[in-house]
Structure formats: structure tokens, C-alpha cells
Chain A
Amino acid sequence: MSGLWALIRRDLRLALRQRGDLLTAVLFFLLTAALFPFGIGPEPNLLLRIAPGILWVTALLAVLLSLERLFLADWEDGSLDLLLLAPQPLEAMVLAKVLVHWLTSGLPILLSAPLAALLYGLPAHALPVLLLALALGTPSLSLLGATAAALTLGARRGGVLLPLLTMPLYIPVLVFGVAAVDASLAGFSVRPHLLLLGALLLVSLPVAALSGAAALRQTAE
């Protein structure tokens, strides 16, 4: 347990020392969200209609953008080999790294989401739903992305591969995340969508731990 804790502390410290990386996801999220009104026009009703989709897609792309750094630095400087040799189960260490990735990409996006929602004039009663949906959905994005990031370590054209591998896996999260906010805007019950997002998170946890660890072991063979 203390080993995992040390890994989390180390990764967090590394992320905090390199603030550029930390800000990339959030800045990308806010800037692209702010770009769309210029492309579509400032009509408030139209913006409100597309706000859930835009906010979710930009959040998804922002997470995707930050996925590459999840294992790449460790793989390049050889600390990944030490993690593979460590007595702690690799599955748990994958989850620890994903936790740090979420804390440095998903959480900042979540915290800046009210600002982006403000740009689109999202009503106050829909904001908690958006935040809850993002809180349940973005960890799944980090988890599923971790598998793809581990699989593409050492691959040629890794940067193009990553979106290709993750896009199909991200679609359910996107569908239910947007559906939750849409339901709240239309005055329907948001509970089923949030429950499904939670279910996706619970499925992604073991899938990402097992497949991520299997993929990392392959890099050492």
C-alpha cells in the first residue's frame, strides 16, 4: 500500500512541477469551447441546444490530448521497468497512475466546466447534472484511455494510433454523458443516465486494470 501511495505522490509531484502539462487539458477544453460560438454564431437558443454535446466532446478531446503522457515518460526513462519489477500488483499500479492522470486532467476540466457552461448560458439547474456526469464520465475516459496508451508504447505513429483506438471505446460515455445533460434541460429524469455512467465506470475499472497491466507487461518482453 505504501508503495502505491509513494507512486501516486511521485506522479502528482512530477505533474505539479511541470505546470505546462497540467494546464494543457484545461486550456484546450476552455479554448475550444470558446471557439465554437464563433463558428456557429451567437444565437443563445442554438448555443444552449448544442451546449451539452460541445462541452462533452471538447472534454473528451482534452482528455485524449493528455493521454500520451500517461506512461510515455516512464517508458522512455526506464522507470516503467522498475514498476514492473516492484512487489505491488501491476494492476493496482495502473489504477494509481490513472488516478493521477484523472486528478491532473479530468478534475481540472470538471472544475473549469462551470465557466464553459456560463459561456453557453446553461441554466443553473442543469449545471449540477453536467458536473455530476463529468465526474462519473471523465474517470472512465482516463481508464479506457490508459489501456490504449499502454498498448501504443513504442509503436510507430503512436500519436495517430491513440485517437483511433480510443474513439470507439469512448462513444458510450459520450452518449450517456450528453443524454444526462439533455434530459435535465428538457425536464426529464436524469437518474437513469447517471446510473448508466456509473455502471460504465464500474466496468471500466477492472477492464482497464487487467488490460493495462497486460499491455505494460508486453513492453518488457
Chain B
Amino acid sequence: MHRFASPARFLRLAGAVQPWLAGGTLVLMALGLYLALFDSPPDYQQGESVRIMYIHVPAAWMALFVYACIAVASASLLVWRHPLAGLFAKASAPIGAGFTFLALVTGSLWGKPMWGTWWVWDARLTSVLILFFLYLGLIALTNAFESPERGQRASAVLALVGSVNLPIIKFSVDWWNTLHQPASITRMGTPAIDPSMLWPLFSMAIAFTLYYFWVVIVRVRGELIEARLRALTRLQTEGR
């Protein structure tokens, strides 16, 4: 991790990796969408609406994955003062919020024909909504201070407190009410869904992951350039 602490080295590496991530995202996204929309069978119960799942499920996975990435970055910011970790977490939060929002919206669109309602206060829906609020809190706190470093460190503390609380919130909401179907992929060995549906799902999931890293690199580069710009303007004004 610490080998990437130098912004200059990061910028060099990011420049090299970025086109590959972008290409991989576009190819896999196109493949996944083709498989999902044209080359996979409709579900025997859900009909064509099942195709929403190829967006919904990867988005929900990403919502959690991005939060885990933010928590790890926050820990390394607070423990080792890793200079890029704060920027990484700051750049990740809006993307994670976007994925969470996508999961909520697609879930709602799927819920209308399936459950007959846009929204139910079901355990899983509610915990994703709470995750969305946590993301909003992170974004708001990061941008609430004059000094960007203070905002990053404050939201790092919040992200870690949230990561302790997320399992508790999840558990309490499960206890509270549940209607959402149990996970059908994570059963190891024999997944409960057919390979013709599994392949589009996996290619979309990998495409979403690559997309996340692609955009996060673009955003961190932007932050670094902005920080350099600020430093230069400060030098210039002080020089006068």
C-alpha cells in the first residue's frame, strides 16, 4: 500500500491502468447487457421483469463493496496517515451513493410489478436505504469543513463508526421485518439459479467493479491536480 503513497507514482500508475479499466468496463458492460437483455431466458415466474435483476443485484453488491473499500481506506488514513487514502475515500463516497441509489430505484421498479408496490418497509430495502443515508452523511461531512484534510479525517471516523454499526443495523432491521427473498448466489456449490442467468449477472458485476475503479482513479487524479493547483496559487499569492 505504502508504495503508492507518493502522488507522483500514483499518477504515473493511474495513467497506465486507466485505459485498461475503461476498456474492460465498456466491453464487459456491452457483453453483460447483451446477455441480460437478449440472450437469457425470461423467468418462469417473474417473466421479463427478471432482467432488472442484472442491474439491481450487481448495484446492491457494489453498494456494500464500495462501503467496505471506504472503511479500509479510512482505517489506513487514520492509522498510517496514508495521504491518498483520504482522497480515495472522498472520491468513492459519491460513487457508492450512486450505486446504492441505483439499487433502490431498480428494486422499486422491480417491486411494482412483482409485489404490487413501489416501496415496502422490508428489512433489506430498509437497510439499503439506511446505507444510502450513511453515504449522504459521509459526503456532507467531507465537504463541511474549510480545510479538506479535516473533512477527510472526520468522515474517516464516521465511516469506521458506521462499519461497526452496519451489521448491527442490518441485524436489527432483519429482526424488525422481513419480506425480501434470501440470497440465491452465495450458497456455495450449487447456486440456485441457472448458468444462462448467472453469466450475464457475473459479467455485469465485474463490469460494475471495473467501472468503480475506473471512475475512482479519474476522481482521485482530479483531486490531486486540484490540490496542486491550490498549492501553486498559494505560492503565487505569497510570493507577491
Chain A residues proximal to chain B, CB less than 8 Å: 144, 147-148, 151-152, 154-158, 160-161, 164-165, 167-169, 171-172, 175-176, 179, 196, 200, 203, 207, 211, 214-215, 218, 221
Contacts and interface: CB of A to CB of B under 8 A. Distances in A.
Interface string B154-183: 100110111011001101110110000000
A165 B162 CA distance: 10
Interface stretch (B34-42, B134-142, B193-201): B134-142
A165 B137 CA distance: 5
Residue from B146, B153, B168 having most chain A Cβ neighbours under 10 A: B168
Residue from B136, B157, B172 having most chain A Cβ neighbours under 10 A: B157
A215 B141 CA distance: 12
Contacts of A155: 141, 144-145, 154
B124 interface: no
Given A214-B78, A218-B154, A156 B141 contact: no
A188 to B, nearest CB: 13
B157 A151 contact: yes
Contacts of A171: 130, 169, 172-173
Given A157-B144, A165-B158, A196-B172, 19 more contacts: A147-B157, A151-B154, A151-B157, A152-B141, A156-B144, A156-B146, A157-B140, A168-B162, A169-B162, A169-B169, A171-B169, A171-B173, A175-B173, A179-B175, A179-B176, A203-B164, A207-B165, A214-B78, A218-B150
Interface of B: 78, 130, 133-134, 136-137, 140-141, 144-146, 150, 153-154, 157-158, 160-162, 164-165, 168-169, 171-173, 175-176
B165 A169 contact: yes
Contacts of B130: 168, 171
B172 A214 contact: no
A158 B165 CA distance: 22
Nearest to B136: A164
Contacts of A148: 158
A164 B137 contact: yes
A103 B85 CA distance: 39
B161 A211 contact: yes
Nearest to B175: A175
B158 A151 contact: yes
23 contacts: A148-B158, A151-B157, A152-B141, A152-B144, A152-B154, A154-B150, A155-B144, A161-B141, A164-B140, A165-B158, A168-B133, A168-B134, A169-B165, A171-B173, A172-B168, A172-B172, A176-B172, A179-B176, A203-B168, A207-B161, A218-B154, A218-B157, A221-B150
Given A165-B137, A207-B164, A215-B157, A175 B144 contact: no
Contacts of B175: 175-176, 179
Nearest to B139: A164
A168 B141 contact: no
Contacts of A161: 137, 140-141, 144
Nearest to A153: B154
B153 A218 contact: yes
Closest 6 CB pairs of A and B: A155-B144, A172-B172, A175-B172, A165-B137, A151-B154, A168-B130
A171 B169 CA distance: 7
A157 B141 CA distance: 10
Nearest to B135: A168
